[in-house]
Amino acid sequence: MKKTWTLLLSVLLFFSILAALIFGEVYVPPSALLHPHGVYSVILERIRIPTVLAAAAIGTSLAVCGAVMQMLLRNPLMDPYVSGTASGGAFGALLSYFLLAFNLPFAYLVYVSPLIAFAFALLSTLITIAVGRRTGVYGLVVGGVVVAFIFSSAVTILTTLISTRFPFVPSVTFWLQGQIVVVGWRSDLGLFALTAILVLLGVKQARRIDLVAISDEMSYARGINPNTYRYMWVVLVSLVSGYIVSLVGIVGFVGIIVPHIVRRILGGSTTALVPYSALLGSPLLLLANILSSGIFGTVIPVTAITSLVAAPIIVYVMVRGIADKRY
């Protein structure tokens, strides 16, 4: 069964990449993909190909982040968006623009912004976990929503203040709901490296993740400190989320949608959850980005598309009481 789904998801990924290269703000004829010429050559080489590859990597990363967070925190409604990680990262990325007031060259923000985004993404995640420890499963979700609202409000305020002095700062919609429109090759390199580390660690550590998800006592018996292990993953998830937010803003709910689909098909073991979430996350976000990037005649924030898919899944989880069950 796994071989069949691997083949199906691989085919879906291939056609999703193909469709993403063709459709966008500018339609690229299929013939131009094989023999690019003129303006199509420039669009494909400098904009469309690196942006499509970035969207695929972001989809993989967010799906794996969500799967791992749900297992380690024993909460099926966790992902970088719900936990407040992405909102904290967005606040940090935008805060870096204040460095322009101290005559920091704008080109340096490419390097500084991800670091500050990581720091605030980590801070927001730790706050959410601290709240959840005292209030239980649903408290973790509510705490994450509150943290997300706080940082999202701060992003709105900062954008309003900065836009008057630095008009080249992206709009508040970009930071709050994500737009994967233009991502360059240089940004892709960092994104590919983080995605590879995340997926490889997830696959290699799958059995340990399962063990920590089952019981802290069993983890201690096998020589694993569950709290230290969780914090190690929180740091990695925060780093990945912070970097993604610094590039494309907040892309929400991918980490909820994908793991739940995989669980329904292949079960909840991390050994299947991580690799198949990685494989499904890319086409899902690519298809969502096709809908958001001009197919309706205008650019729509990508989180507006993913939230429509995530809403029924969240309702299903809460109505069925799955959030009360430990993995």
Q: Across the chain, what does the average pLDDT equal?
A: 88
CA distance 56 to 4: 21
pLDDT the model gives residue 135 = 67
Instruction: Give me 77's structure tokens.
Output: 């409604």
CA distance 198 to 298: 33
CA distance 162 to 303: 24
What confidence tier does 209 reach under pLDDT thresholds 50, 70, 90? Answer: very high
Work out the average pLDDT over 151-172.
77
What confidence tier does 271 reach under pLDDT thresholds 50, 70, 90? Answer: very high
* Greater model confidence, 189 or 155: 189
Whether the predicted pLDDT of 57 surpasses 80: yes
pLDDT the model gives residue 140 = 78
pLDDT the model gives residue 326 = 47
Angle (CA) 237 241 245, round 5°:
175
pLDDT tens digits for 35-51? 888 999 999 999 999 99
> Phi and psi for 57 in degrees, rounded to 5?
-65, -40
* CATH 3.10.20.30 given to domain 2-324: no
SS3 at position 299:
strand
Domain boundaries, the chain: 2-324
Whether the predicted pLDDT of 95 surpasses 90: no
Whether the predicted pLDDT of 293 surpasses 60: yes
